[in-house]
Amino acid sequence: MAQVLARLPKQTDPRLLVGTNTADDAGVYLVRPDLALVQTVDILTPVVPDPFVFGQIAAANSLSDVYAMGGEPVTVLNVIGFPAAGNRDWLVEILRGAQTKVLEAGACVAGGHTFNDPEIKFGMAVTGTVDPDRIVTNARARPGDRLVLTKPLGTGTLSQALMTIDDVPAELFEQGVAAMTKLNRDAARAMTVAGVRSATDVTGFGLIGHLQEMALASGVAVRLFADRIPLLPGVLDLIQRGVLNPGIAMNEASFGRFVKTLVRGELTTRQQALRNLLYESQNSGGLLMAVSETQYQGLQSELRKYRIAASNLGEVIAGLAGEVQLEF
């Protein structure tokens, strides 16, 4: 998509504060000196067998892009692909689940669009607001910043496992659903209070992809420490059994050339499973923040107020813009 967008005329409206040039999570448009709109759209195919829970996950995933920009969602438009002969009860439950998350976010459903599709698809176009002086973008990471992630990885493996095997561990399922349905609202509020100015959320491009985009937009390199990556329980075991999220191959093809793996000797099978996990697409993942040393303790204090356990999984360093160093 970046190659396609590069061939289009560049936007010149000075009120467009954040556009497509940095691959950020949402667009930001200035309405007046003290108010800007945050706008985004996202769609998922079913990632769990329960339509109500899927609606919750898809809504949390769509709302997340506004939170990643430091904004608060205001209105949403449902976007629904559904087979004409499909079970209407499923559609009701998807929309009902989604509405619970929209209400939890303090926003409202203003309408939407439905189209006939043989494969179920659901998501939202979300409009939020943000103070123009407090916009958070993926382009402000600086050398010396710590990298902080607010949710564990592994939801892509969980979703793939639910479609392909019968013995998904109960603990993995419960913790995975809890992570995917949790709004990033509280993490975003903690981020704003702490003064963090650079963040993204970890979704379709996986941890590696979104981190690489942050590094490139900021003109820096980043270093990840593999032993600090927060994981859902049992996901590495599933990957070693051959449960592979399709996003792994897609994201490695797109971002693998920017990754420099630092390891003594050959990767073990466990380390290779972890490396795969870092590329997999995440469903409604956490916020990934670049946090200065002076902000770090304040951020952790604010996150604890919301009972959010955030992991310090790496650092921003000077180096080739967009390079991701993965250290085992």
CATH topology of domain 2-134: 60s Ribosomal Protein L30; Chain: A; (3.30.1330)
Q: Which segments of the chain belong to CATH 3.90.650.10?
A: 146-327
Residue 301 confidence (pLDDT): 97
Do 98 and 58 form a contact (C-beta atoms < 8 A)? Answer: yes
Sheet holding 198-201, edge to edge: 198-201, 287-291, 146-149, 311-317, 221-225, 324-327, 259-262
Q: Which segments of the chain belong to CATH 3.30.1330.10?
A: 2-134
- How would DSSP label each residue in 244-287? --THHHHHHHHHGGGEEEE-SSSPPHHHHHHHHHHHSPPSS--E
Tens place of pLDDT for every residue, the chain, 328 residues? Answer: 667 777 888 878 999 999 988 999 999 999 999 999 999 999 999 999 999 999 999 999 999 999 999 999 999 999 999 999 999 999 999 999 999 999 999 999 999 999 999 999 999 999 999 999 999 999 999 999 999 999 999 999 999 999 999 999 999 999 999 999 999 999 999 999 999 999 999 999 999 999 999 999 999 999 999 999 999 999 999 999 999 999 999 999 999 999 999 998 899 999 999 999 999 999 999 999 999 999 999 999 999 999 999 999 999 999 999 999 999 9
Query: d(Cα 201, Cα 267) in Å, to the nearest integer?
Result: 28
Token output for 192: 């704003």
Token output for 107: 């926003």
CATH topology of domain 146-327: Phosphoribosyl-aminoimidazole Synthetase; Chain A, domain 2 (3.90.650)
Residue 11 confidence (pLDDT): 78
Q: What is the DSSP letter of 68?
A: H
User: Residue 191: exposed, middle, or buried by beta-carbon count in 10 A (0-12, 13-18, 19+)?
Assistant: buried
pTM of the model: 0.95
Collapsed DSSP state (helix, strand, coil) of residue 169: coil
Residue 88 confidence (pLDDT): 94
